[in-house]
Amino acid sequence: MQKSFNTAGPCIPDDHYMVSITPRFKSFKKLIDNKRYFLLHAPRQTGKTTLMLQLMELLNQEGKYIALYVNVEAAQPLRNNIEAVNELIISEFEANAGAYLRKEWQPQEDCFKIRSMSKGISHFLSSWCLQLPKPLVVFIDEVDALIGDGLISVLRQLRGGYTKRPRAFPHALCLIGLRDIRDYRIYSDASKRYIVGGSAFNIKEKSIRLNDFTLEQVKELYAQHTQATAQKFTHHALQRIFDLTRGQPWLVNALGRELCFEEQAIDWKQTVHKADVDKVADILIKRRDVHLDQLADKLTEPRVARIIQSILIGEDKESNETESHLNEDKQYLIDLGLIRSGERGLEIANPIYRDIIPRELTAYRQEMLGINPKWYVKADGKLDIQKVLAAYIKFYKRYHELVTKRRTYTEAAHHLLLIAWLQRIVNSGGYVNHEYAAGLGRLDLCIDFADEQFAFELKLSHKEALSEGKTQLAGYLHRLSLEQGWLVIFSRKDVSDWDAVGRREWVEEEGKRIEVIWL
């Protein structure tokens, strides 16, 4: 069977190209040998389940331990019904033991007599461990999918049995999820208060974050396809795959799948080039596959919106309302894989996400704009940028409530409406590059259309906005080797003088021509 790039569920060695995970086993084995309870966390679809299933198989083959993986996500809808949560999770243990373990290692019938009690999981694991001829190692996935008192009960039961290990409780245990347990803030209906996950599970030895692929691992993965099919990838193509994804495993595999196996795939007799990578990346972004759709769904969460908005507008300010939780919110987004600490400050995790986020936040606006992109393309196929801007100013004056009445991302509303307008037009024959990070004080845009580039600097108005903006845009133009660009300054105040809205003037800065537009 021909192997392929996997974008759905755990990787299977016989079916999928896989980065070697053997080097990661050493640190896990040390924790297991030392009877530790620990955490593995990383964003969705980064290889956590694949890693744990392979580690389970390796441990069972070595024969020193009996290891079992279970996924408890199915108990999420049961929320605060502790007895029902216990019963379902124990049923998952029973089913997975039947699927993965030898008959003599599976739990005997008397282990299940108390499965629905409030301490059913603890009693089940104690009874089972007493029956086993070897120490038990347990990997529990999707723990942070559980909710409220159900989650608190599970964590406390595991903590309560800790002192009985290894004879009457698992020798070692790993909780697997999106976040470190320190970031769990669990609301208990029984106690009518929030409980921090670390306090409910204070036996954690270590938290391990599963890192994204390195450039060398990306090359290793794609080399397996070359070995299997003789299809080659240029150095620039592989570098572009890494640059666009920053090694995010699902994105790396998704690009490989599009390049090599889908309808628009490059023939295996042909070499894959950088331009091919850019083409399929655009397909992924516009198609909104499941992984990218889940990413977009997170943008509606208030704690996510606060951080993403500060990055979009380039401001890194802390309000009194959010200051106490700001670091917690930042870490939450880092653990979700949405953002990272980059060279220029807090930024979106990779260029593909950076493109998707403004699209998702403006998708419905783009559909309602009623623009025919052909209106703004000249007879020679070039973009009439002056016509684009004049039409936008007219549109904004007529429909400014799209900014003033936005309920979410209100500070970034000006930026997002202009981006929606530009993307609606440019998508017919080009693309919009975005550069933004918290603390930059602006959002940079560059339109690529018919072999021409148009650079923009977007800023919220303040006392130094004009002088800062000219300097910043001049630097951006130097970097892009362009002679002119556009500085758009958005007012934060209610409009009182509509004649001043859309005012435009050309200025010079560091030898560059800059058109300033006030909106």
CATH of the domain at 242: 1.10.8
Q: What is the mean pLDDT of the chain?
A: 88
What is the pLDDT, as a whole number, of residue 33? 95
The answer, yes or no, to whether residue 323 has pLDDT greater than 60, is no
CA atoms lying within 13 Å on the CB side of residue 9: 5
Whether 173 and 140 share a structural domain: yes
What is the pLDDT, as a whole number, of residue 281? 92
What is the pLDDT, as a whole number, of residue 497? 76
The answer, yes or no, to whether residue 288 has pLDDT greater than 70, is yes
Angle 273-284-51 from CA coordinates, rounded to 5°? 90
CA dist., res. 29 & res. 146, Å (int) = 27
What is the pLDDT, as a whole number, of residue 104? 94
Q: What is the pairing mode between strands 136-141 and 66-71?
A: parallel
| pLDDT confidence band for 187 (50 / 70 / 90) | low
CA dist., res. 440 & res. 488, Å (int) = 15
CA dist., res. 215 & res. 222, Å (int) = 11
The answer, yes or no, to whether residue 324 has pLDDT greater than 80, is no
The answer, yes or no, to whether residue 5 has pLDDT greater than 80, is yes
Taking residues 465-488, what's their average pLDDT? 95
**Residue-number span of the structural domain to which 251 is assigned:** 215-287
| pLDDT confidence band for 26 (50 / 70 / 90) | confident
Radius of gyration of the chain (CA): 27
Closest of 319, 329, 308 to residue 436, by C-alpha: 308
Q: What is the pairing mode between strands 504-509 and 512-518?
A: antiparallel
Cβ(433)–Cβ(459) under 8 Å? no
Among 193, 209, 225, residue at a domain's last position: 209
DSSP state of 174: E
Which residue is it, tokens 């070995």? 227
Whether 133 and 227 share a structural domain: no
Whether 452 and 421 share a structural domain: yes
CA dist., res. 317 & res. 414, Å (int) = 18
What is the pLDDT, as a whole number, of residue 297? 78
Whether 180 and 230 share a structural domain: no
Q: At what angle do helices 351-368 and 302-313 cross, to 10 degrees?
A: 100
Query: Looking at the DSSP assignment, which residues form a beta bridge with residue 204?
Result: 37
Amino acid at 486: W
What sections of 261-400 are H helices per DSSP?
Answer: 274-287, 290-298, 302-313, 326-336, 351-368, 385-398
Whether 201 and 237 share a structural domain: no
| pLDDT confidence band for 239 (50 / 70 / 90) | very high
Cβ(385)–Cβ(288) under 8 Å? no
The domain that contains 85 carries what CATH number? Answer: 3.40.50.300
List the structure tokens of 400.
């400014």
What is the pLDDT, as a whole number, of residue 374? 84
**Is 393 inside any structural domain?**
yes
List the structure tokens of 349.
């995790």
Q: What is the dihedral of CA 168, 173, 176, 180, to 10 degrees?
A: 110
Q: What is the pLDDT of residues 69-88, one digit of tens each?
A: 999 999 999 888 889 999 99
Of 228-232, 285-289, 334-338, 509-513, minimum mean pLDDT range: 285-289
Q: What is the pairing mode between strands 339-342 and 37-41?
A: unpaired
Predicted model pTM: 0.86
Domain count, the chain: 3
**Is 352 inside any structural domain?**
no
Q: What is the pairing mode between strands 193-196 and 430-436?
A: unpaired
How many C-beta neighbours within 10 Å does residue 451 have? 8
Among 230, 255, 287, residue at a domain's last position: 287
Q: What is the pLDDT of residues 384-413, one digit of tens each?
A: 999 999 999 998 888 888 787 788 898 898
Q: What is the pLDDT of residues 442-474, one digit of tens each?
A: 889 999 999 999 999 999 998 899 999 999 999
How many C-beta neighbours within 10 Å does residue 448 have? 15
Of 114-128, 131-145, 342-356, minimum mean pLDDT range: 114-128
The answer, yes or no, to whether residue 183 has pLDDT greater than 80, is no
